[in-house]
Amino acid sequence: MEEKDPTNDPLYLLSHAVENGDPAAGKQIKEYLNKSDDPSEMRYLEGLLLLLGEQPGELEDPPDYEDDPDEYWKENDYFEV
């Protein structure tokens, strides 16, 4: 598996800007967020905005673990030996 170069990875650079308190970080994150189509990437960027104390926009509802089929079978395993 090929490793990413952190100096060319936009998510790394944006995270680094947030850590360093860059005043332009919020604007840069929002611009990158508007270009992204990857849900995982979008959630990460929204998390960075939350760290900055800004409104992230439309966060998706958290997953409903109560109706998770995998969890159901673990809790209600009737076939234990």
Q: Other C-beta atoms within 10 Å of 48: how many?
A: 24
What is the mean pLDDT, run by run of 10 residues, along the chain of 81 residues?
A: 72 92 91 88 90 71 56 54 50
Q: Other C-beta atoms within 10 Å of 54: how many?
A: 15
What does the pLDDT read at residue 7? 76
In the chain, the number of structural domains is 1
Q: How far is CA 24 from CA 27, 29, 30, in A?
A: 6, 9, 10
Give the domain extent around 27. Answer: 6-75
What does the pLDDT read at residue 37? 86
Contact residues for 13 (Cβ-Cβ < 8 A; gap 6+): 7
The answer to whether residue 50 is domain-embedded is yes
The answer to whether residue 24 is domain-embedded is yes
The answer to whether residue 32 is domain-embedded is yes
Q: Taking a C-beta distance cutoff of 8 angstroms, is the pair 46, 61 a contact?
A: no
Q: How far is CA 51 from CA 9, 22, 44, in A?
A: 19, 12, 11
pTM for this structure? 0.62
The answer to whether residue 81 is domain-embedded is no
